[in-house]
Amino acid sequence: MTATSIDLPVPSSQFSNTIAVTRHIFKELRPESYRHPLDRQALMNLEKMPGLSLLLKKINEYGIDRLVRLQVQGEDFRVNDANFPALHQALLEAAAILDVSPVPELYLHRGTGYIVSYAIGVEQPAIGVNLEAMEWLSHEELLFLLGHELARVKSGYLAYQQLSIVMPMLKTVVSTTTFGLGGLAANGVEVALYNWIVMSKFTSDRAGLLACQNLDTAISTLMKLSGLPHEYLNKQTIDAFETQARQFDVNSISNLDRLTKIVGFMNYQSPWGVMRASQLLAWADSGEYSRLLEFSI
């Protein structure tokens, strides 16, 4: 992987004035160069689960990939340079920085009262953000959010991501058609899946930071993802958030028993902002982030 620096134009929009920002562009960027070790271990544990191949087979049999994509196409607004140019430009910029090609389609969906983003589509990946993401995030913060989702595409994570979406339905199907695999939560597949999804956020956040290349921006995005409105972001709240994040011990998760993990990680879509900030700050402090920016690997 090589890193070069070029001047990237930031379009005039609701997010910023027209300026030129120098950001590193990564060529031949490999996900392994920024993968979080807890993500790597959780994925290994998931892939060892005996029921996983059956579940993925069911997804293929029922055409879940096509169904999810059809739902997005039939409900959300496809973004282009004409209808939402600033949002479209942010996607192109993030994809160029992270060396993601072809660039996935981008969709905008209805407001929910908090920021939401997603990546779907194993065969034809697509990324989506909601109205709050477009309205509440600056251009740089959008780079972080879109970089996070592009990392899911780049790492080939989408099959497992979609499995989590349809897990409740598949549990019922498998329990009625396959002897011995009805208790998926009991045999570990479900908890392993949700545990991995939470851990994979650490890797995706690293890609988000590589995309925006500003640690302060990454932290403010995580705070907004956690539900804090923009008007409450100030030096005091940011300092307190970072202090809380640095005090969080992610290793304590390993000491939780299985039942506690099931209960906690069933809500895998929770932003987990403090925990994610703790790992992003630790990565920046380690110097690994700076080395990726400065050296060819």
Percent of the chain scored above 70 by pLDDT?
79
Q: Quick one: pLDDT band at residue 64, thresholds 50, 70, 90?
A: confident
The overall pTM is greater than 0.85 = yes
Domain that holds residue 201: 2-294
Give the three-state DSSP class for 4: strand
Question: How far is CA 294 from each of CA 22, 209, 239, 251, 289, rounded to the nearest angstrom?
Answer: 13, 14, 27, 30, 9
Could you tell me how many helices (H) and strands (E) the chain has, helices first?
Answer: 14, 6
What pLDDT digit, counting tens, does each position of 9-56 carry?
444 333 333 334 689 999 889 999 999 999 999 999 999 988 788 788
The type of residue at 16 is S
* Residue that is written with structure tokens 């709050």 in the block: 132
Q: Quick one: pLDDT band at residue 74, thresholds 50, 70, 90?
A: very high
What pLDDT digit, counting tens, does each position of 154-203 carry?
999 898 888 887 776 666 665 555 544 455 544 578 888 888 999 999 99
Name the residue among 157, 129, 87 with its Cα closest to residue 224.
129
Is residue 126 within 8 A of residue 120, CB to CB? The reply is yes
CB atoms closer than 10 angstroms to residue 7: 9
pLDDT (0 to 100) of residue 260? 52
Cα separation, 94 vs 108, whole angstroms: 17
pLDDT (0 to 100) of residue 18? 34
What pLDDT digit, counting tens, does each position of 206-233 carry?
999 999 999 999 999 999 999 999 999 9
CB atoms closer than 10 angstroms to residue 246: 13
Order of all β-strands in the sheet with 105-109: 77-78, 105-109, 126-130, 117-120
pLDDT (0 to 100) of residue 267? 60
pLDDT (0 to 100) of residue 151? 97
Give the three-state DSSP class for 2: strand
Supply the DSSP string of 93-162, one letter for each residue. Answer: HHHHHHT--SPPEEEEE---SS--EEEE-SSS-EEEEEHHHHHHS-HHHHHHHHHHHHHHHHTT-HHHHH
What pLDDT digit, counting tens, does each position of 77-96 carry?
999 999 999 999 999 999 99
What pLDDT digit, counting tens, does each position of 91-127 carry?
999 999 999 999 999 999 999 999 999 999 988 999 9
Our count of domains for the chain comes to 1
